[in-house]
Amino acid sequence: MNKIIALVTGGFTGESVVSMKSSAFVESQLDRTKYDVYKIVILKNEWYYEDANSVKHQVDRNDFSIMPGDKKITFDAVFIMLHGSPGEDGKLQGYFDLLDIPYTSCDALTSALTMNKGYSKAIVDGIPGLHVAKSVQLFQQSDENAGLLLSSLQLPLFIKPNNGGSSIGMSKVKSAEELPSALDKAFHEDTQVLVEEFIQGREFSIGVYSGKNGITVLPTTEVIPSNDFFDFEAKYTPGATEEITPGRMSPEEKANVERIVKDIYIKLNCRGMVRIDYFLQDKTSNFYFVEINTIPGQTAQSFIPQQVRAAGMDIGEFYGELIEKALESGEVNGGR
Identified catalytic residue from 196, 277, 278, 329: 277
User: Same domain, yes or no, for 217 and 288?
Assistant: yes
Residues 119, 226: one domain?
yes
244 and 118 assigned to the same domain: yes
At CA 274, angle to CA 268 and CA 280, rounded to 5? 85
Q: In this structure, are 123 and 272 located in the same domain? A: yes
DSSP codes, 108-172:
HHHHHHHHSHHHHHHHHTTSTTEEE--EEEE-S--TTHHHHHHHHS-SSEEEEETT--TTTT-EE
124 with 237, same domain: the answer is yes
Which amino acid is it at 209? Answer: Y
* Residue 191 confidence (pLDDT): 85
Burial 266-288 (b: 16+ CB within 10 A, else e): eebebbbbbbbbbbbeeeebebb
Cis preceding-peptide flag for 246 (omega within 30 of 0): yes
Residue 293, classified by CB atoms within 10 Å of its CB into exposed (0-12), middle (13-18) or buried (19+), is buried
Q: State whether 210 and 139 are in the same domain.
A: no
- Same domain flag for 187 and 264: no
293 is catalytic: yes
Of 15, 76, 189, 222, the active-site residue reads 15
Kindly state whether residues 158 and 215 are assigned to the same domain: no
Q: Can you tell me whether residue 188 is helix, strand or coil?
A: helix
Name the DSSP letter for residue 100.
Answer: T
Query: Of residues 22, 120, 166, 171, which has the active-site annotation?
Result: 166
Q: Could you give the CA distance from residue 270 to residue 288 in angstroms, rounded to a whole number?
A: 19
Statement to judge: residues 273 and 128 lie in one domain: yes
252 and 127 in a common domain: yes
Residues of the chain with pLDDT under 50: 166, 230-232, 234-236, 334-336
Catalytic residue among 297, 320, 330, 335: 297
Name the catalytic one among 105, 171, 189, 275.
275
Tally of structural domains, the chain: 3
Mark which of 170, 191, 212 sits at the end of a domain: 191
Contact (CB, 8 A) for 63 and 31: no
What pLDDT was estimated at residue 144?
A: 83
Provide the residue range defining the domain that includes 163. Answer: 135-191
Q: Which of 105, 291, 302, 330 is catalytic?
A: 291
Is 166 designated active site?
yes
SS3 306: helix
Domain end (from 191, 220, 236) = 191
Note whether 124 and 251 are same-domain residues: yes
pLDDT at 230: 46
What burial class does residue 120 get, using C-beta atoms within 10 Å of its C-beta: 0-12 exposed, 13-18 middle, 19+ buried? buried
Say yes or no: 125 and 221 in one domain. yes
- Rounded-to-integer distance, Cα 33 and Cα 249, Å: 39
Do residues 251 and 229 make contact, with C-beta atoms less than 8 angstroms apart? no
Residue 9: closest CA among 99, 78, 112, 56: 78
CATH number at residue 299: 3.30.470.20
Of the three residues 191, 219, 238, the one that is the final residue of a domain is 191
State residue 214's pLDDT score: 95
pLDDT at 240: 65
Instruction: Give the model confidence (pLDDT) of 184-241 as tens digits.
Output: 999 988 888 999 999 999 999 999 999 999 999 999 999 997 766 544 454 445 566 7
Q: What predicted TM-score, i.e. pTM, was given to this entire model?
A: 0.89
Q: What is the CATH number of the domain that holds 150?
A: 3.30.1490.20
Interatomic CA distance for residues 219 and 238, integer angstroms: 21
23 is an active site residue: no
Task: For residue 27, give the CATH number of its domain.
Answer: 3.40.50.20
Which entry of 38, 49, 103, 236 is annotated as an active-site residue?
236
**Catalytic residue check, 291:** yes
Dihedral angle at the C-alpha atoms of 270, 296, 130, 190, nearest 10 degrees?
-100
Pick the catalytic residue from 105, 171, 210, 293: 293
